Chains A and B, each alone.
Chain A
Amino acid sequence: MVDPQHAAWSPSPFLKAWDDYVAASQEICERLKDPNANGGGSIPLPIFGAWQEFAKSLGMQSDLNVGASFNPDAVVANLAPALGWSRDYQGIVQRMLEIGGQFQRRYAEFLKQSADISEQALQATRRRIAADPRLALSPAAAYEAWIESAETTYAQAAHGEAFSRSLGELCNLLSAFKVERGKLLDALARHLDLPSRAEVDSLHRQVHDLNVAVRAAASRPAAGERKPRRSRKPAGK
């Protein structure tokens, strides 16, 4: 419950949701003990209402709202630190959300670069057609002009540092997300008593090492036996 002495303090949406959830749970407990408590009546189940409000505050809509968008930055900013028995999983999800937010930002930058390239390509095509109006007479010729202009414009941008860096960062963020996702899946495999990635990797390493050892042993001559000399004709007949 919010301390009245600190009424001016505004808790984060997460803490408010937690507070409301606890209060709602307490009310249900009291009503279960004494059905006439709090005016009687049917026992409401407002437990999840608090979390629904929290989700809404982060931009997550319970209905399909085309205008709404998930804002991972807002989620990350309002998350509590990973605590309790599930803290490992909380940590993984937090990292996935952080990476998701970074990816959204980088992808938006990349899309802007791509849009700029398309616009420049269009201008280049217009210049090309203006220089040779015959191109406009045939759809095939005009299309060829567009393709050539687009590839030339694209190549100039793609060779640049900004484009290369954007592409690399997007790739690296996806790789990082995949690593975190892998941790979650490994945990799930463990709980379902399925082989985890770590177990399978360990087996692969052992099999590989065994193969190397067997091959090395097979190539050594037996004790007391000399390796036969290779007697061949030179290359070519």
Chain B
Amino acid sequence: MALHEQGRAALRALREIGDVEVGQSEKELLYSENKIKLYRYAPLARSLGLPPLLICYAMVNRPYMLDLQPDRSLIRELLFLGVDVYLIDWGYPDGADRFTPLQEYIGGYLDRCVNVVLNKNSVDALNLLGVCQGGTFSLCYAALEPRRVANLITMVAPVDFKTPENLLSKWVQHIDVDLLTQSGNVPGELLNLLFLALMPFKLTQQKYVNLLQVQADRAQLENFMRMEKWIFDSPDQPATAFREFVQWFFKENRLLRGGLTVGGRTVLLSKITCPVFNIYAKNDHLVPPSASVPLGAHVGSTVYDALGVDVGHIGMYVSGKARTTVPPAIANWQLVRQRDRQAHK
């Protein structure tokens, strides 16, 4: 078929798809505060008897990426494996959140969500899965409240923000974040542009040209539209929390270099003593492996495991390879930790 005819056919097919549904796995709202919502997902299999798993996602993107569609859902895979899954949805911050500091997100909202999960399950500690920026938050939380985290899993989580491969970090060094946040929240559109600029030819050209090859496959087109929806669905970032995150982590790398305090309390990775499972993407252009791998040398845990998956940042959530590798790894790792704990009693 001639190229222009392929293009017309692709556009027609996309128009027929219309709007797409995302994040459709059944869930129950347990707690809400301001824009934040805490969900518990309906079980899909017999429970493994593990501690509840609370997922702390990033604020810079929407968490339905972990439950994009039924056959590309990390959450559904975990549910099928018998894991009890909870998720914090940070929502869409607005002008009312511009003065909310980072300590309120980590030591406030996250802590209160942990409370709810602990109370619901009548346990002292839960398992925490931090994804991307949420992984950084989770590390801070686990360091501040080690008794409340039984096991910590980090996924594509940056720890060292100043490695040579980190292009985003290089760019950020020249941005005056005080000036950027002086006039309010940081628009999600700006973050979208920044992320696209990391690989502009692939992300603004090639992926649309590739549509020509799949225009007859409705399922692939629907998946494309769901990805498209998520990519451009970046929430505005609350000014104060964003300024602090950029300054403390990207510019000053305090998580590794020291001097990080949240709510007046010092955050030291060495205070993390629970078992840690660090999953990273080997081809990650956003959080390169060099940004995640150093975690093992800094935590105080005696049990530390790492898993490098041969995918990119987005592929970690939705690729077939990740789907068959990551959820079983997470579930099995938690099971082993459970047995270790019971064996030591």
Q: Contact check, A175 vs B183: say whether CB atoms are below 8 A apart.
A: yes
Contact between chains at A232 and B174 (CB < 8 Å): no
Given contacts A147-B201, A150-B201, contact A200 B179 (CB under 8 A): no
Nearest to A160 among chain B residues (CB) is B170
Contact of A176 with B by CB under 8 A: yes
**Which residues from 198 to 230 on chain B have a C-beta closer than 8 Å to any C-beta of chain A?**
198-202, 205-206, 209
Contact B123 A204 (CB under 8 A): no
- Docked Cα-Cα span, A154 to B50, in Å, equals 47
In the bound assembly, the distance between CA atoms of A205 and B199 in angstroms comes to 39
A210 to B180 alpha-carbon distance, docked (Å):
27
Task: Write out the residue numbers on chain B whose beta carbons fall within 8 Å of the beta carbon of A167.
Answer: 171, 174, 197
**A143 and B209 in contact (CB under 8 A), knowing A155-B167, A201-B98, A236-B150?**
yes
Cross-chain contact of B182 among A150, A151, A179 (Cβ < 8 A): A179
B123 with A232: CB separation less than 8 A: yes
Residues of A within 8 A of B341 (CB): 234-236
Distance in angstroms between the alpha carbons of A147 and B205 in the assembled complex: 9
User: Mask for A161-194, Cβ within 8 A of B = 1, else 0?
Assistant: 0001101110110011011011000000000000
CA distance A208 to B98 in the complex (A): 10
Partner of A178, one of B173, B183, B342: B183
Q: Mark B31-56, 1 if CB is under 8 A from A, else 0.
A: 00000000000000000011100000
Q: How many angstroms between the C-alpha atoms of A182 and B118 in the bound complex?
A: 45
Q: Are B123 and A235 in contact (CB under 8 A)?
A: yes
Which residue of the partner chain, among B51, B171, B198, B202, contacts A236 with CB atoms under 8 Å? Answer: B51
Say whether A175 contacts B179, CB under 8 Å.
yes
A182 vs B212: C-alpha distance when bound (angstroms)? 44
Q: Is B270 an interface residue (CB 8 A)?
A: no
Bound Cα distance A237, B173 (Å): 47
For residue B85, CB closer than 8 A to chain A, the reply is no
* B99 contacts across to A, CB distance below 8 A: 201, 204-205, 208
B100 and A208 within 8 A (CB)? yes
Interface size class of B (residues with CB under 8 A): 35 or more
The reply to whether the CB of A233 lies closer than 8 angstroms to some CB of chain B is yes
CB–CB A235/B124 < 8 A: yes
Contact pattern, A 117-160, Cβ under 8 Å of B = 1, otherwise 0: 00000000000000000000001000100010011001100110
Q: For the complex formed, measure the closest distance between the CB of B83 and the CB atoms of chain A, giving whole angstroms.
A: 12
Interface size counted on chain A using CB atoms at 8 A = 36
**Which residue of A143, A165, A179, A235 is within 8 Å of B125 (Cβ)?**
A235
Task: Give CA–CA (A169, B179) in the complex, Å.
Answer: 12
* B343 interfacial by beta-carbon distance below 8 Å: no
Closest chain A residue to B122 by CB distance?
Answer: A232
In the complex, what distance in Å separates the CA atom of A171 from the CA atom of B338?
A: 49
- When the two chains form their complex, are residues A151 and B100 in contact, meaning their CB atoms are under 8 A apart? no
- B255: chain A residues at CB < 8 Å are none
A165-B174, A201-B98, A235-B123 are known contacts. Are A151 and B201 too (CB-CB below 8 A)?
yes
- Complex CA–CA separation, A139 to B100 (angstroms): 52
A148 CB to closest chain B CB, in angstroms?
A: 9
> Is there contact, CB below 8 Å, between B150 and A154?
no
Q: Taking the complex as formed, is A29 at the interface, i.e. its CB lies under 8 A from any CB of chain B? A: no
Q: Is B96 an interface residue (CB 8 A)?
A: yes
Residues of A within 8 A of B167 (CB): 155, 158-159
Docked Cα-Cα span, A167 to B123, in Å, equals 49
Contacts of A179 in B (CB 8 A): 179, 182-183
**Residue A207 lies at the interface, judged by CB distance under 8 Å to chain B:** yes
Q: Does B126 contact A (CB under 8 A)?
A: yes
A168-B174 in contact given A204-B96, A236-B338 (Cβ < 8 Å): yes
- Residue B95 CB within 8 A of the other chain: yes
Alpha-carbon gap, A168 to B171, bound state (A): 7
Tell me the bound Cα distance from A236 to B125 in angstroms: 9
Q: Please tell me if the beta carbons of A172 and B124 are within 8 angstroms of each other in the complex.
A: no
The interface bits of chain B over 315-345 (1 if a CB of A lies within 8 angstroms of the residue's CB, else 0) are 0000000000000000000000010011000
On whether the beta carbons of A176 and B179 are closer than 8 Å, the reply is yes
**A172 and B176 form a contact (CB under 8 A):** yes
A residues with a Cβ closer than 8 A to B are 139, 143, 147, 150-151, 154-155, 158-159, 164-165, 167-169, 171-172, 175-176, 178-179, 181-182, 197, 200-201, 204-205, 207-208, 230, 232-237
6 pairs of residues in contact across A and B, judged by CB atoms under 8 Å: A204-B95, A204-B96, A234-B124, A235-B124, A235-B126, A237-B49
Task: List 4 tightest A-B contacts by C-beta distance, closest first.
Answer: A168-B174, A235-B150, A235-B125, A235-B51
